Structure 1
């Protein structure tokens, strides 16, 4: 980490609590400064607000500089990106049944909440530290939905929203965490079902890496499929509203991704939660869990190091498909 970035993060950490107390502020991070919508090479402290106002009370104004470090104000509200029936007609993409299981595909619990069913993305296969067995990685809010989950809850691939049925059970919920760093869950794989280390349209991953500002990245998700972007912000502290039963949670040290609009208008959308994000070396840098529905359509991800530690899993490089049992579908 260069000295300029390190000092900017230090100042951000000392001031973010004051910013997050202001009305309409939902995130603070360190990233590129934008002028007239165009990215500059300048690194600054960025304050994210629900809506920019033409008139702001003096006590709520964001100073142009803090200890010599410039600031920027970005507009966006960030929400978990699982898919509910409310958006199904608008956002219906990869509903295919995959055997062997792979990363980048539809997955969801076999249970409903309030009469509604949900779907997200199976990010990739990970290895259980304790047993050495492959597990399916996704988000807490995808596999658990709310705090009514139980170990052993069935996971369907494809999900119920994506025309899956109870007979499409691929595994069961093993453990989950919704912490200050991670929105994650893993599920075991049912006996007789094959799994592959590959992510659809990306291939096998080459291990993990720390996200770097400006890194070109890709992800493959259930809804927007293969998309491209770049790391636009680091060290993000973000308030996310998970709804009834959980409420607002604050996650820190998060990664913010901006879409490469020369290729795709958005990096992610509802249903892409749980996708794993890889850099140009095919190394996983983050677990996608939230995003904004308005321009510039930023996506938020948990750093993969925290995910591995808190879920007691790891991602190996160069794994080959585990095809010891069962048949193949859509290989």
Structure 2
């Protein structure tokens, strides 16, 4: 099914100029309203399910597996308490050229596999800037939670996986833990149906299950081979992510890091219209932490391990 997904993605990619609103293809669970079913389908992701290009039906007709169209919104999540020692799950910000970034989440602590020691981890779009060359940004100050507390300097980042690391300043204490989650160790790939959790600065600890894998983005900057996490308790925890949660490490039930949260999936209010739905997204997308085939994982892309 993943191979068929790649074939369909290549076909849609060629026709992309004639497919407004089509943003990706992956393999995941079919959605029924706000609930996920157990049926696995190839999903074509669109920005507005009420305005699906008419050509899409004919382009998917020869796909040998069921195809479903789902609405998703790939908006970067970049939105406060100080943590001493520094741990994952809290606010982190960067200063570039005298301007303080909006901020996001400090995912946690990792081993620097290139030069030794430990580094802090977040998203590139949170603490780095893809519009500036490396020699301008490298060494820029990192704060937790804001300007009154500098904790390190920007070290390395990779736009392709939206991952960045920073070096801690001398004297800054840190613990290998994530708020509300605790200790973590090792890495694994996220697989369809896995139960996972994250702790972000905005929505704090939320839980979900992997609802799709092998994302092939079309015409957008989302990292390839990302996976989606859908809230696992729609009734009691409808919101999985909100702005500011970018950079959160995604951890499985074995305490292994499986990804880094980069973007939201779909606003709860867009599929639950009765009453006054709370603001936020019912799902989010994360970059796989481990490499598979020719697609680099977040850890390999910036030279870290857990």
TM-score range (shorter-chain normalised) is 0.7 to 0.9
Corresponding position of 1:150: 137
Q: How does 1:73-222 map to 2 (within 5 A)?
A: 73-83=69-79, 95-111=80-96, 117-148=101-132, 150-158=137-145, 164-165=146-147, 167-179=148-160, 182-222=161-201
CA distance in structure 1 between the partners assigned to 2:170 and 2:218 by the alignment: 39
Q: 1:17 to 1:143 in 2, by over 3 A?
A: same
| 8 Å CA contact retained: 1:269, 1:293 | no
Q: 1:16 to 1:266 in 2, by over 3 A?
A: same
| 8 Å CA contact retained: 1:50, 1:76 | yes
Q: 1:125 to 1:53 in 2, by over 3 A?
A: same
Gaps of 5+ in 2: 272-281, 291-296
Pairing 1:47–2:44 present: yes
Where 2:96 maps in the other structure, the secondary structure is coil
**1:64: Cα distance to partner?**
6.6
2:217 pairs with one of 238, 241, 262: 238
Gaps of 5+ in 1: 1-7, 84-94, 159-163, 241-247, 316-331
| 8 Å CA contact retained: 1:63, 1:71 | no
1:251-271 alpha-carbon deviations (Å, 9 max, x no partner): 211111111224411211100
TM-score by length of 2: 0.85
| 8 Å CA contact retained: 2:77, 2:263 | yes
**1:133: Cα distance to partner?**
0.7
| 8 Å CA contact retained: 1:28, 1:48 | yes
Corresponding position of 1:72: 68
Query: How many residue pairs end up in the alignment?
Result: 280
TM-score by length of 1: 0.79
The runs of at least 4 consecutive aligned structure 1 residues that moved more than 6 Å come to: none
Superposition RMSD in Å: 2.1
Pairing 1:223–2:202 present: yes
